[in-house]
Amino acid sequence: MYVARTDSWYLERIIWLIAGIFTLTSAVLAWVHSPYWLILTALVGVNLIVFALSGFCMMANILYKLGARSAISGEGRVRRAHTQAR
């Protein structure tokens, strides 16, 4: 059984939290206010699919600039490309 690390708030964990908050909030707003809030749910899903297929995530870039760091050693593609250029 896979269990994610919970000892720190690393980048991937923060993204999962934000995606969950956006999805639940838009579902509640669609139920209470207007079904058009389901568009936000669809956008979250599209962003998750884009990340899975391409590795690009706008939220990850924003969080990285704000100081969040990845749990993956090497900090992702940017760092690997930099070390290979040497």
User: What is the predicted pLDDT for the residue at 74?
Assistant: 56
Separation CA 74–CA 13 (nearest Å) = 17
Q: Is 39:29 a contact under the CB 8 Å cutoff?
A: no
pTM over 0.85: no
> Is the residue at 2 inside a domain?
no
Range(s) of the domain holding residue 53: 11-85
Number of structural domains (the chain) is 1
The per-residue pLDDT for range 50-86, each reduced to its tens digit, is 999 998 999 999 999 998 888 875 555 544 444 555 5
User: What is the predicted pLDDT for the residue at 80?
Assistant: 47
> Is the residue at 1 inside a domain?
no
